[in-house]
């Protein structure tokens, strides 16, 4: 028996790159998979229905079950539809992986509003819309006596957690995905829906022209897939709100830390700006 036997998994952006590796591994582990992908270019332009269809064929050729969706995650209709594709084909949904993404890098002053909003729309609004449709369906299944709970796996990035030159739009979107993950992990605990995120580093069409990937073939989507599988399977237990990061053989986690800080002495508890400057190390370090 596989780790996802009997589960239906919707994986956005799984017509290529990391999402494709997720789809193949999830299917191998027994999941029925909705392979969602608009099949556009790296910058989000264009569309090609064959991207999702090809991965569906690969899964079927290996003896698995899958269905294609070419809906865009970035519209409410698309998000509603891609969840319904799973319901219509397989009767339910259990796992949602928000993985679809585009890249429109530019230094800050050269970044126009369209570059900003298109990247936010796919990564952040897409994760919001698809998660909302997924949760509605999971709750409908519970109301119908068809079992409870579910798993959402989001996708953030080092850029979102730490910032990166030339990626104001992408970093803001991925930091937003972190905030969404944390908040949904709190809100959906009662519904037994875990919400975690993967922060991958792998050579795909999104990253292949970065200098760090030149001549490097050891950082593959196949290294990332087990992290998403873990977060999507029963092995994850009730862990929720985590960011699991993967780069090749390195598996680690991102956390936001709060310093111990410093309480102001005496009766006057209002800090002055000068006192903040004078006590910076005690406040912000450690």
The DSSP secondary-structure symbol of 245 reads: E
Q: DSSP letter at 90?
A: H
Whole-Å CA distances, 47 to 41, 171, 232 = 7, 24, 28
> Is 39 a binder of ligand NAI (CB under 6 A)?
yes
CA distance 102 to 208: 14
- Taking CB under 6 A as the rule, does residue 36 contact ligand NAI? yes
Interface residue with ligand NAI among 23, 25, 122, 231 (CB under 6 A) is: 122
Q: How far apart are CA 131 and CA 53, in angstroms?
A: 23
Q: How far is the CB of 78 from ligand NAI (least distance, A)?
A: 7
Please check whether residue 131 is in contact with residue 185, taking contact to mean a CB–CB distance below 8 angstroms: no
Annotation marks residue 170 as catalytic: yes
CB closer to ligand NAI, 16 vs 226? 16
Give the nearest distance from C-beta 222 to ligand NAI in angstroms.
Answer: 12
Only segment of 12-20, 59-67, 129-137, 235-243 that touches ligand NAI (CB under 6 A): 12-20
Is the Cβ–Cβ distance between 101 and 10 less than 8 Å?
A: no
119 in contact with ligand NAI (CB under 6 A): no
User: Measured from the CB atom, is 26 or 141 closer to ligand NAI?
Assistant: 26
Instruction: Give min distance, CB of 182 to ligand NAI, in A.
Output: 18
Asked if 47 contacts 102 with a C-beta cutoff of 8 angstroms, the reply is: no
CA pair distance 177, 207, nearest whole angstrom: 19
* Residue among 21 and 193 whose Cβ is closer to ligand NAI: 21
Burial zone of 214 (CB within 10 Å; 0-12 exposed, 13-18 middle, 19+ buried): exposed
Half-sphere exposure of 131 (CA within 13 A, CB side): 28
Report if residue 176 touches ligand NAI, rule: CB under 6 A. Answer: no
Span interacting with ligand NAI, options 93-101, 236-244, 249-257, 271-279, rule CB under 6 A? 93-101
Contact positions vs ligand NAI (CB under 6 A): 12-13, 15-19, 36-40, 42, 44, 51, 72-74, 99-102, 122, 126, 155, 157, 200-202, 204-207
């Amino acid at each position: 028996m596989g780790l996802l036997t009997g589960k239906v998994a919707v994986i956005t952006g799984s017509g290529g790159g990391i999402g494709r590796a997720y789809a193949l591994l999830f299917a191998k582990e027994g999941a029925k998979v909705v392979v969602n992908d608009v099949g556009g270019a790296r910058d989000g332009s264009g569309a090609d229905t064959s991207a999702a269809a090809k991965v569906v064929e690969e899964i079927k050729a290996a003896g698995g079950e899958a269905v294609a969706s070419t809906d865009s995650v970035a519209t409410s209709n698309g998000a509603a539809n891609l969840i319904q594709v799973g319901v219509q084909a397989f009767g339910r949904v259990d796992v949602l992986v928000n993985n679809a993404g585009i890249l429109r890098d530019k230094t800050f002053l050269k970044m126009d509003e369209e570059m900003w909003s298109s990247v936010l729309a796919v990564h952040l609004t897409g994760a919001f819309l698809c998660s909302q449709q997924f949760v509605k369906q999971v709750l409908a299944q519970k109301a119908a006596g068809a079992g409870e709970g579910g798993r959402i796996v989001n996708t953030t990035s080092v850029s979102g957690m730490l910032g990166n030159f030339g990626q104001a739009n992408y970093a803001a979107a991925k930091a937003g995905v972190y905030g969404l993950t944390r908040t949904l992990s709190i809100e959906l605990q009662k519904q037994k829906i875990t919400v975690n995120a993967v922060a991958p580093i792998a050579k795909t069409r999104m990253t292949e022209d970065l200098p760090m990937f030149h001549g490097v073939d050891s950082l593959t989507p196949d290294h990332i897939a087990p992290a998403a599988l873990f977060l999507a399977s029963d092995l994850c237990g009730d862990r929720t709100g985590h960011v699991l990061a993967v780069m090749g053989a390195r598996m680690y986690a991102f956390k936001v830390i709060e310093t111990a800080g410093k309480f102001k002495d005496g009766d006057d508890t209002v800090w002055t700006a000068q006192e903040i400057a004078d006590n910076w190390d005690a406040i912000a370090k450690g």
